[in-house]
Structure 1
Amino acid sequence: MPFISVRITRDGVTREQKAQVIKEITETMERVLHKDPKLTHIVIEEVDTDNWGYSGITTTEYRKQLSESKP
């Protein structure tokens, strides 16, 4: 029984996009690893950008800095 966890930032991803991700990951598991789709579990976890960081800052701050540096 495959269990796949996908973590993304919470910023405008639609229900339809998440459904497509679940469908395509399930299809990939079936095609590549021959896993039964009925036993494949996918969880999408949405993380607030204040709770996701890299390069020593939050994603919120990183994106703010990017937008300020654009002409």
Structure 2
Amino acid sequence: MPYINIRVTDEQVTQEQKRQLIEGTTQLVVDILNKNPKTTYVIIDEIPIENWGVNGKQYLGTKK
């Protein structure tokens, strides 16, 4: 049973974008690994932007 964890910053990812991520990721696992979509789990974690770092520095991005 595949378990895929997608982590994104909490910069206003829409429900439609999340739906597309889940659908597309599931299809990749089906196509590439020949896994059953009924037992493929995709979890999206939204992480506060201030909890990310890039190049040794806290990433503050363009949160609106």
Q: Answer yes or no: same fold by TM over 0.5.
A: yes
Aligned residues: 62
1:69 match: none
Q: Larger strand proportion, structure 1 or 2?
A: 2
Whole-angstrom CA distance in 1 between matches of 2:59 and 2:46: 13
* TM-score (ref. length: structure 2): 0.89
Where do 5+ consecutive residues of structure 1 fail to align? 65-71
- Poorly superposed stretches of 4+, deviation over 6 Å: none
Normalising by the residue count of structure 1, what TM-score does the alignment of the two structures yield?
Answer: 0.81
What CA RMSD, in Å, does the superposition of the two structures yield over aligned residues? 1.1
- Give the structure, 1 or 2, with the largest relative contact order (CA under 8 Å, sep 6 or more): 2
Query: For the pair shown, which has the larger CA radius of gyration, 1 or 2?
Result: 1
Identity %: 39
